[in-house]
Chain A
């Protein structure tokens, strides 16, 4: 085990130890639990920074360490740690966002009676996510994959007394579990065919090991099914918007930056495997783009700030998946990195607003007034929105351009245009939200409730705003690492590429125009005093109905569960009770009973008949004896 891997192992298990400590000792004390959890994730963060400092130019040689988990027959199921540029980058994101969310939650969750539990689950999540990130085998990836799902369930359902949260938690788990069925089957098929192979071998399967291409297509599609569930791709995306019922820091950490990105990370990790099947790649690209468009259009009509961000998350995840499917490995990973920062930032800003206004609805927030007084929150929210919309020089600009360039380079112009549409929609709905929030306050409101305003005038506490500022810094600057101005640092780090890619001015200009168009359109409809406060998508009745009803996907699932699964179960139950139990089991019992009844006429209680029968039998036996 090399020095690096030892550090990795320490980083992974630090949150786990915190989970155990909180569960065993400090669950009674909120402060202590929070302290332990933050300390643990801080340790992970520091270790990650140390690792990063040691490998500033990327990890040249992938390092792997295995230990045997169990041995059955010819299967040696191994766990271990992997260390390369991809995992280092992901570890950095996970630890960084997690740390900030831990700190942010002190303020956000202040006074909640389940704070110790909250921090325990956060530690559980961080541990599980890190286990997933450093997994060298598909099996361990599945292990972490399921555990983050469980942590997500627990955290979405953290306020379990709210029926919506309880329903959302269940929906999230069951729906991702449905996807995981595919993942599990794919994993099992790979396990029985090749043993417990690591990602390095997995990536070689198609190219160098000459495995049947249709086999790879089948298994990779099965595994992609799991990714569709976890990364919320159409049609398994419906759980993510509902998951916003959870506490907002959780949404930022799990449902924006890390867990939902696990699918993208998995594709990147097993890129050789997926790219060995052209059909799978095509499928991934199409599903991703479809998801992206669908989610972006739904986001146009959402009024809940968190729902807007949730759909935008789905949309951005769709872009990443699509570009990975389209052959743009670097673009997908790069967007994953930048997106993690600005989307976490947006969610934490939303949390700050929600904490302040006690509502999720952007119109209500605007009505209550005072958004402009929350200077830090507002500034960082606008920074995040600019990054999400992709305005130069914010992070999203560079990664989105990388996506468009990747599509163009791989000869998929159609997809490139689709990305343009998505980025127009993104800019539009993001700034729709901003302009609604900034809408001028009603005159009377401000005067009338002067005292009230003063009370509302302050910003959120420092433990909430500092994470915002830190994320905002990243959201502004992290995009530059992929530019020639920093020597193409990201290429060098991730791919070890030395030559510097030049800038694609054409794409940059085109995308800037599109984005500014979107923002301008949003301003025209929602901004200032002249905006009509009605979006273009809301003007046509049936389109609005379709979007508000989220393309009826939820209704479809409702129908399947209520109309198919539960009746099926009821029928089976009826069969079990009536046919198998009452007819089969009780029936055979009754058969014995009635045959007994039938024979009981011999048992008539008449002494002499008993005697007569026995004598007759005796005589019969004697008679038989005589015959012999």
Chain B
């Protein structure tokens, strides 16, 4: 048997968590270093997967298969295909940079890093498993620590409310997912949770597909987040510590889109066809409404939160077009948006550590005293508003192409968000970073060299995948092609 690299991607963070548990709470530096090394190794492994994945064959690779409960058809199956590989890399980048960004946390360091890495492990599991039972298991693992991370280490007076709401909405969604998975299992009658076999053999009648798709749409939609279940997201971002926001917006939200692409669409193509218009309508709300609402925000993280709502709407919009280009765009947007929001939140976090406020109206002229933090936020803003040369431009271009082709008018309405995004991002840059410095902030120092490393990593990734999108797009396309074939639009 070959080197089980995927299992190691799960095991390394798990061991890291265990090692952290053995540390004394006072050994803060040791805990940080252990986390950094652990996630660093994971990042290297993920890069190895990204590089070694055979781009001539595609399909599921690095397969590992261990029977778990054969009686019920549960197997421990890990395997990555074109869709998972970029997302595994994204998650590895997000957790590695997240660990570095949270270096300044002093409160209960041990528990913080434990939960953070535990969460990332769950996300890795979701992206890599090919078994529905384990999918559900990892899904819960990924969602659960979020409550503690926000409620304990968060900021703001209503962080408990935010954490509570976030967890409840996500569990509300995951209940639907769980029900859907069990129903899938039962209705297929194959006595297996093996996703690959289900994809190959399962036949669902049209009405069943329709009902099941609705379940998955509600379930995954709540984490995407789709309008009107989005309100947990800006609030959750705003209250979470930077690294948690990064993982949360960067990766956790992608579980929704991933779930749709991984489970719902290949198994239930008819269902998508039934619900595509609804999905398109909701995604319109996300895109336009989210963008306009972002203008009115005073808290920078709220603004970014609503911009996430807007940009994740692109994922749903792309899926709802049911064309190959749209699916490509949706998948690419998940990847690109993950990098952008991670950059947003880490740069805001760098500033917040010093100013202890994120209110745009209270700040101003920050670029004079913290040029680096300002520069990286502006860069994130430029990437976020779809500047060519950065990854989100590619994603938006693909989604818009598909959107205009499929739903001409609605596609054009979606393009409006491009202008609105430019408006709120630049307005924020102007009012927060540019202009004269509020005397209150004189004497603050810029972020350190160490703080800059994660930001640079994210910028490089955004730039590389923006200039040379085929690096990721070819991978994604190898999978979305199958989806489009199932949808009959290839």
Assess A/B contact in the complex (Cβ within 8 A). Answer: yes
Q: Mark B66-87, 1 if CB is under 8 A from A, else 0.
A: 0000000000000000000000
Task: Give, as a whole number of angstroms, the nearest-CB distance from B215 to chain A.
Answer: 18
Chain A to chain B: the 9 pairs with minimum beta-carbon distance, closest first: A166-B434, A569-B295, A573-B296, A569-B296, A73-B324, A192-B405, A160-B434, A581-B231, A143-B388
Closest B residue to A154 by beta carbon equals: B378
Q: Would you call A209 an interface residue if the criterion is a C-beta within 8 Å of the partner chain's C-beta atoms?
A: no
**When the two chains form the complex, which single residue of B394, B415, B430, B474 contacts A167, counting CB atoms closer than 8 Å?**
B430
Q: Are B415 and A188 in contact (CB under 8 A)?
A: yes
With A142-B388, A566-B295 in contact, is A163–B436 under 8 Å at CB?
yes
Task: Give, as a whole number of angstroms, the nearest-CB distance from B484 to chain A.
Answer: 8
Residues of B within 8 A of A180 (CB): 418-419
Q: Which of the candidate stretches B10-18, B123-131, B396-404 sits at the interface with the other chain?
A: B396-404
Q: Mark B380-408, 1 if CB is under 8 A from A, else 0.
A: 00100101110001100110110011001
Q: Would you call A266 an interface residue if the criterion is a C-beta within 8 Å of the partner chain's C-beta atoms?
A: no
Closest A residue to B398 by beta carbon equals: A72
Query: Bound complex: CA of A181 vs CA of B418, how far in Å?
Result: 7
Q: Would you call B423 an interface residue if the criterion is a C-beta within 8 Å of the partner chain's C-beta atoms?
A: yes
Query: Bound complex: CA of A185 vs CA of B415, how far in Å?
Result: 7
Q: Would you call A547 an interface residue if the criterion is a C-beta within 8 Å of the partner chain's C-beta atoms?
A: no
Residue total for B at the interface (Cβ-Cβ under 8 A): 60
Q: Would you call A189 an interface residue if the criterion is a C-beta within 8 Å of the partner chain's C-beta atoms?
A: yes
Q: Are A70 and B469 in contact (CB under 8 A)?
A: yes
Q: Would you call A565 an interface residue if the criterion is a C-beta within 8 Å of the partner chain's C-beta atoms?
A: yes
Q: Would you call B477 an interface residue if the criterion is a C-beta within 8 Å of the partner chain's C-beta atoms?
A: yes
Task: Give, as a whole number of angstroms, the nearest-CB distance from B486 to chain A.
Answer: 15
Task: Give, as a whole number of angstroms, the nearest-CB distance from A165 to chain B.
Answer: 8
Q: Which of the candidate stretches A145-153, A358-366, A526-534 sits at the interface with the other chain?
A: A145-153
Residues of A within 8 A of B408 (CB): 189
Q: Would you call A570 an interface residue if the criterion is a C-beta within 8 Å of the partner chain's C-beta atoms?
A: yes
Q: Would you call B352 an interface residue if the criterion is a C-beta within 8 Å of the partner chain's C-beta atoms?
A: no
Q: Are B435 and A160 in contact (CB under 8 A)?
A: yes
Query: Bound complex: CA of A169 vs CA of B295, how far in Å?
Result: 18
Task: Give, as a whole number of angstroms, the nearest-CB distance from A548 to chain B.
Answer: 26
Q: Are A173 and B422 in contact (CB under 8 A)?
A: yes
Query: Bound complex: CA of A581 vs CA of B236, how far in Å?
Result: 13
Q: Would you call B228 an interface residue if the criterion is a C-beta within 8 Å of the partner chain's C-beta atoms?
A: yes
Query: Bound complex: CA of A170 vs CA of B422, how far in Å?
Result: 9
Q: Would you call A589 an interface residue if the criterion is a C-beta within 8 Å of the partner chain's C-beta atoms?
A: yes
Q: Would you call B427 an interface residue if the criterion is a C-beta within 8 Å of the partner chain's C-beta atoms?
A: yes
Q: Would you call B173 an interface residue if the criterion is a C-beta within 8 Å of the partner chain's C-beta atoms?
A: no
Q: Would you call B433 an interface residue if the criterion is a C-beta within 8 Å of the partner chain's C-beta atoms?
A: yes
Q: Are A170 and B430 in contact (CB under 8 A)?
A: yes
Task: Give, as a whole number of angstroms, the nearest-CB distance from B429 to chain A.
Answer: 7
Query: Bound complex: CA of A191 vs CA of B400, how far in Å?
Result: 10
Q: How many A-B residue pairs have CB under 8 A?
A: 141
Task: Give, as a whole number of angstroms, the nearest-CB distance from A317 to chain B.
Answer: 22
Q: Are A146 and B388 in contact (CB under 8 A)?
A: yes
Closest B residue to A570 by beta carbon equals: B296
Q: Are A72 and B295 in contact (CB under 8 A)?
A: no
Q: Would you call A572 an interface residue if the criterion is a C-beta within 8 Å of the partner chain's C-beta atoms?
A: yes
Q: Are B419 and A147 in contact (CB under 8 A)?
A: no
Task: Give, as a whole number of angstroms, the nearest-CB distance from B188 to chain A.
Answer: 30
CB-CB contacts below 8 Å: A137-195 with B: 142-144, 146-147, 150, 153, 157, 160-163, 165-167, 169-170, 173-174, 177-178, 180-181, 184-185, 188-189, 191-192
Q: Are B293 and A161 in contact (CB under 8 A)?
A: no
Q: Would you call B308 an interface residue if the criterion is a C-beta within 8 Å of the partner chain's C-beta atoms?
A: no
Q: Are B470 and A69 in contact (CB under 8 A)?
A: yes
Residues of A within 8 A of B297 (CB): 573
Q: Would you call A594 an interface residue if the criterion is a C-beta within 8 Å of the partner chain's C-beta atoms?
A: no
Closest A residue to B490 by beta carbon equals: A73
Residues of A within 8 A of B323 (CB): 73
**Interface hub of A174, A568, A570 (most chain B Cβ within 10 A):** A174
Q: Are A191 and B401 in contact (CB under 8 A)?
A: yes
Residues of B within 8 A of A166 (CB): 430, 434-435
Query: Bound complex: CA of A476 vs CA of B469, how far in Å?
Result: 47
Query: Bound complex: CA of A75 vs CA of B398, how far in Å?
Result: 10
Q: Are B293 and A572 in contact (CB under 8 A)?
A: yes
Residues of A within 8 A of B419 (CB): 174, 177-178, 180-181
The B interface is mostly helix, strand or loop, or mixed, namely helix
Q: Are B422 and A174 in contact (CB under 8 A)?
A: yes
Residues of B within 8 A of A599 (CB): none
Residues of B within 8 A of A153 (CB): 426
Closest B residue to A589 by beta carbon equals: B168
Q: Are A161 and B387 in contact (CB under 8 A)?
A: no
Q: Would you call B365 an interface residue if the criterion is a C-beta within 8 Å of the partner chain's C-beta atoms?
A: yes
Query: Bound complex: CA of A576 vs CA of B234, how far in Å?
Result: 11
Q: Would you call A606 an interface residue if the criterion is a C-beta within 8 Å of the partner chain's C-beta atoms?
A: no
Residue total for A at the interface (Cβ-Cβ under 8 A): 51
Interface residues of A, Cβ cutoff 8 Å to B: 68-73, 75, 77, 142-144, 146-147, 150, 153, 157, 160-163, 165-167, 169-170, 173-174, 177-178, 180-181, 184-185, 188-189, 191-192, 565-566, 568-570, 572-573, 576, 580-581, 584-586, 589
Residues of A within 8 A of B153 (CB): none
Q: Are A146 and B387 in contact (CB under 8 A)?
A: yes
Residues of B within 8 A of A576 (CB): 231, 289, 293
Query: Bound complex: CA of A161 vs CA of B419, how far in Å?
Result: 25
Task: Give, as a whole number of angstroms, the nearest-CB distance from B294 to chain A.
Answer: 8
Residues of A within 8 A of B430 (CB): 166-167, 169-170
Residues of A within 8 A of B168 (CB): 589
**When the two chains form the complex, which single residue of B232, B295, B418 contacts A184, counting CB atoms closer than 8 Å?**
B418
Residues of B within 8 A of A184 (CB): 400, 415, 418
Query: Bound complex: CA of A189 vs CA of B483, how far in Å?
Result: 25
Residues of B within 8 A of A185 (CB): 404, 412, 415
Query: Bound complex: CA of A593 vs CA of B248, how far in Å?
Result: 27
**When the two chains form the complex, which single residue of A169, A177, A572 contacts B418, counting CB atoms closer than 8 Å?**
A177
Query: Bound complex: CA of A184 vs CA of B419, how far in Å?
Result: 11
Q: Are B231 and A150 in contact (CB under 8 A)?
A: no
Q: Can you show 23 pairs from A to B with CB atoms below 8 A apart?
A: A72-B325, A72-B328, A72-B401, A72-B473, A73-B325, A75-B401, A143-B389, A157-B434, A160-B433, A170-B426, A174-B419, A174-B423, A181-B419, A184-B415, A184-B418, A188-B404, A188-B415, A565-B423, A566-B295, A572-B289, A573-B296, A581-B235, A584-B228
Closest A residue to B472 by beta carbon equals: A70
Task: Give, as a whole number of angstroms, the nearest-CB distance from A562 to chain B.
Answer: 12
Residues of A within 8 A of B477 (CB): 71-72
Residues of B within 8 A of A568 (CB): 292
**When the two chains form the complex, which single residue of A69, A160, A191 contacts B367, counting CB atoms closer than 8 Å?**
A160
Q: Would you call B155 an interface residue if the criterion is a C-beta within 8 Å of the partner chain's C-beta atoms?
A: no
**Interface hub of A162, A570, A585 (most chain B Cβ within 10 A):** A585
Query: Bound complex: CA of A177 vs CA of B426, how far in Å?
Result: 11
Q: Are B293 and A573 in contact (CB under 8 A)?
A: yes
Q: Are A150 and B387 in contact (CB under 8 A)?
A: yes
Q: Would you call B273 an interface residue if the criterion is a C-beta within 8 Å of the partner chain's C-beta atoms?
A: no
Query: Bound complex: CA of A569 vs CA of B310, how far in Å?
Result: 14
Residues of A within 8 A of B44 (CB): none
Q: Would you call B368 an interface residue if the criterion is a C-beta within 8 Å of the partner chain's C-beta atoms?
A: yes
Query: Bound complex: CA of A181 vs CA of B414, how far in Å?
Result: 11
Residues of A within 8 A of B367 (CB): 160-161
Q: Are A174 and B426 in contact (CB under 8 A)?
A: yes
Query: Bound complex: CA of A576 vs CA of B296, how far in Å?
Result: 11
Residues of A within 8 A of B231 (CB): 576, 580-581, 584-585
Residues of B within 8 A of A75 (CB): 325, 401
Residues of B within 8 A of A191 (CB): 401, 404
Closest B residue to A178 by beta carbon equals: B419
Q: Are A69 and B469 in contact (CB under 8 A)?
A: yes
Task: Give, as a whole number of angstroms, the nearest-CB distance from B64 to chain A.
Answer: 31
Residues of B within 8 A of A143 (CB): 388-389
Q: What 6 new A-B contacts, CB under 8 Å, besides A161-B436, A180-B419, A188-B415?
A: A72-B328, A73-B328, A146-B393, A147-B387, A161-B434, A174-B422
Q: Are A580 and B228 in contact (CB under 8 A)?
A: yes
Task: Give, as a whole number of angstroms, the nearest-CB distance from A577 to chain B.
Answer: 8
Task: Give, as a whole number of angstroms, the nearest-CB distance from A319 to chain B.
Answer: 28
Task: Give, as a whole number of angstroms, the nearest-CB distance from B490 to chain A.
Answer: 8
**When the two chains form the complex, which single residue of A165, A572, A581, A589 contacts B296, counting CB atoms closer than 8 Å?**
A572
